[in-house]
Amino acid sequence: MLDLLGTIGGNALSLPGILGLALGMMTRNWRLAAILGGVVGVVETLIFAGFTLDNIYLLDAVVAVVVGMVAGTLGCAIRNKGATV
């Protein structure tokens, strides 16, 4: 359980969370923001695994993609809400 929470927290504070939020704030399209965040999660997993598929754990990849998608969608929501104020 602690391993899962550490993985989620590490990804939220790492590239998928921060870069996913920033890329999500660059668009007003919800789907595009989620896709960009997911791509950041995949790329971050590949970078930290040394670009070899043998070193990638399924849990780490899934959590990175989900955190990236949530962060991208949150960034898009921030942009959409901020534009209506």
In a domain, 32, yes or no: yes
In a domain, 73, yes or no: yes
In a domain, 23, yes or no: no
In a domain, 1, yes or no: no
Q: Which domain holds residue 69?
A: 28-80
Please state the domain count of the chain.
1
Q: What is the pLDDT of residues 2-34, one digit of tens each?
A: 888 988 888 888 889 999 999 999 999 999 999
Residue 66 has pLDDT above 80, yes or no: yes
**Longest Cα–Cα distance in the chain:** 48
pLDDT at position 65, please?
95
